[in-house]
Structure 1
Amino acid sequence: MAKEAKTNAMRMLDRQKVKYEALSYECDEFIDGIHCADITGAPYDQSFKTLVMEGKSGGYYVFVVPIEKEVDRKAAAKAVGEKTVDMIHVKDITKITGYVRGGCSPIGMKKPFPTVFDASAGNFQEIYVSGGRIGLTLKVPVEDLLKVTGGKLANITAREE
């Protein structure tokens, strides 16, 4: 069997000596996090999506939120000291992060951006995040994710009414 090609995210975790589990699945195009979790058997509340936003200052920020939730833009902006943040355009994802839509990992982007994980990630030992390409999910200890990304925890998801 051919050895799986490593993504930037995997190489970065390897360099930092972080133990992780790689879950590969067949997928040729973008599918949302819920479908990825269904395919890999990952629990929804432990599965997180990576969103890249631009602040009013022009800086880029990475927000990692549960797959079933939406980011609260006000809370996200406050977490990174911005007045406002807006999603970057889909066509700009690769240019800014080095990753493609549906395969954007919070680990190993072209440049390190301030990264905020929703506080709910702190409820788990490990969470599932994109592995850096479509068809790859990584199960990584939360503590290690925070260390490798320089990230922090904050309440950044929209609260249910």
Structure 2
Amino acid sequence: MTPAVNLLKKRKTAFQLHEYDHEPGSASYGLEAAEKLGLSPEEVFKTLVAELDSGQLVVAILPVDQQLNLKKLAKAAKAKKASLADPAKVERTTGYLLGGVSPLGQKKALPTFIHQSAEPLQQMNVSGGRRGLEIQLAPKDLLALTRGQLADLVS
């Protein structure tokens, strides 16, 4: 299993795993997951890693059909600027390959910001730590496990 799944089991957190056949040519991993699992894009969240002007990496979790607003992420993180992090740095820091970065079980715990649209949901889906694997869990559990904060992250 992935580090994300192992963390959920260790913490005795309720979750469900959803697997699907990932197609390597897919333009959007998140939208592919929503489509293949028959879920609304509002319930499936992507995990992006950004770098602040201080050099600190942070995690942004937002619906797969939305675009990250880097200015809003920087504001939430109390920084002046944010940019998407270098892919090699993301993989080194999280321990996950791009397209399968889970907000859970990362090698180094990073400050995490979850789009506020997750709050009213009963369940949300995030990457399980590899392409083709999604974890469904309660937003409150994801907030607790990541020590995350709710924030407005999209344009």
The bucket for the TM-score relative to the shorter chain is over 0.9
- Segments of structure 2 that go 5 or more residues without pairing to the other structure are none
> Is structure 2 residue 63 aligned with structure 1 residue 66?
yes
What residue in structure 2 maps to residue 154 of structure 1? 151
What residue in structure 1 maps to residue 73 of structure 2? 76
State whether residues 49 and 67 of structure 1, in contact with CA within 8 Å, keep that contact through their aligned partners in structure 2. Answer: yes
1:17 aligns with one of 6, 12, 20: 12
Q: How does 1:32-47 map to 2 (within 5 A)?
A: 32=28, 33-47=30-44
CA displacement, residues 50-100 of structure 1 (integer Å, 9 cap, x when unaligned):
000000001000000110101111110011111111001223321121101
- Segments of structure 1 that go 5 or more residues without pairing to the other structure are 1-5
The number of aligned residues is 153
> Is structure 2 residue 49 aligned with structure 1 residue 52?
yes
The Cα RMSD (Å) is: 1.2
Q: Secondary structure at the match of 2:59?
A: strand
> 1:79 & 1:30 partners in 2: Cα distance?
33
Q: CA deviation at 1:30?
A: 6.7
Provide the identity percentage: 34
Q: Secondary structure at the match of 1:106?
A: coil
CA displacement, residues 108-146 of structure 1 (integer Å, 9 cap, x when unaligned):
111100000000011201101000011101111101000
> 2:15 & 2:88 partners in 1: Cα distance?
30
> 2:129 & 2:25 partners in 1: Cα distance?
13
> 2:130 & 2:136 partners in 1: Cα distance?
14
> 2:95 & 2:37 partners in 1: Cα distance?
24
What residue in structure 2 maps to residue 101 of structure 1? 98
| TM, length-normalised to structure 2 | 0.94
> 1:94 & 1:30 partners in 2: Cα distance?
20
Q: How does 1:130-149 map to 2 (within 5 A)?
A: 130-149=127-146
| TM, length-normalised to structure 1 | 0.91
Q: 1:30 to 1:55 in 2, by over 3 A?
A: farther
